[in-house]
Structure 1
Amino acid sequence: MKLKYSKLIMVGPTNSGKTTTSYKYNSEKSRIFNFDQEYKNKLNVKLIGKKKFRTIHQSVLDKIIKNESNLCVYEGSHLILPYLFNTIIETIKSESLVFILFDFSFFDLWIRMKNRPSYRKTRFEKFMLLFITYILFSLNKNILTKKLKEKNIKYIKIKNSNLLPDEIVRLINYQLSIYNV
């Protein structure tokens, strides 16, 4: 069965499993864009009135819009910021978009982070990164879901932090098959 949704966008705080889950979609027929790793230096600053906003570089938007793979998976903590989020939903046709929101408690994310081998080297920095992205996500997730509902864009909330990446992919694919009807 071919799904009509060709762009999955994963949003959530650091350490919520976006990257690991996105790699499960890696194949010849799909393309993964990891904003945090590939495009971290391609954020522009746009001045609107007296406020500065971080925006996605046009080359990144072009890749999102023009990508001809059967499925594109985009993920990154940068997408928590409302202006970046709005740029994407205003640019891409909503019929092909599905957002995956990784909505875990801070405690669950903290436990996951403490179990990572890299945690022992940079405890304070990792904690601060987790804390900041969790606060940003918590403050913005209601705005994000409201905007998705207004634009009639489908989204899937993943709330169980105990699911393995393969189980998350099965859950996402199941939800997508329901939306496809």
Structure 2
Amino acid sequence: MSLQMSIVFGILVFEMSYLLLLMVPLPFAIRQKLVNGSVKLNQSRNFKSAWAFTTFVLGLQFVDCLQKLQKYSNSESFALASQFGGARYDQLASKFYSQRNLYITGAVLYLEVSIVTVVTILKKLVLKEELYRAATNTQTSSIAGHTDSQKEEAAELRKLIKQKETDIAVLKKQLEGAQKQYDSLNESEVRSKAD
């Protein structure tokens, strides 16, 4: 493998391990540091320039591999030689290397998009978790400071929840009665619960 493809393969391994690290369920503090570090890194001009350059070079290499493979698939002499088993080994090796390079560069480009997407989703999740933790902390610290209108609203909501629960229980009883009535219409067949 050439030095260029070794570097591309190293980038591929790094991206796979970083994506795995992002996807593993980590404690909130570690995930928060990881996501905040990724966001700060993405805001750096030097990193953006290096990332854009790398993506551009990998895109060019991907297109070059596609063109080489298209050349081999359109070549009549290569097709005839491969049909009769007389294809030259250097042509086969070149086609194989082009396919390998295509797959590796395609995987690197795909993982770049995947990492950006996952970091964006995780950034939103971390933000929501921070807001939730802040809300629960302020809620527990200010329970004694509720106003009368908030207490009345909470009591009304509890009453509404109890009413809905009783409505659900009544509907379940009605459903059971209807099911028993339906089952009794045809006594000759033995019905299982799965029916």
The answer, yes or no, to whether TM exceeds 0.5 is no
TM-score (ref. length: structure 1): 0.27
Larger Rg: 2
Structure with bigger strand share is 1
Structure with bigger helix share is 2
TM-score (ref. length: structure 2): 0.26
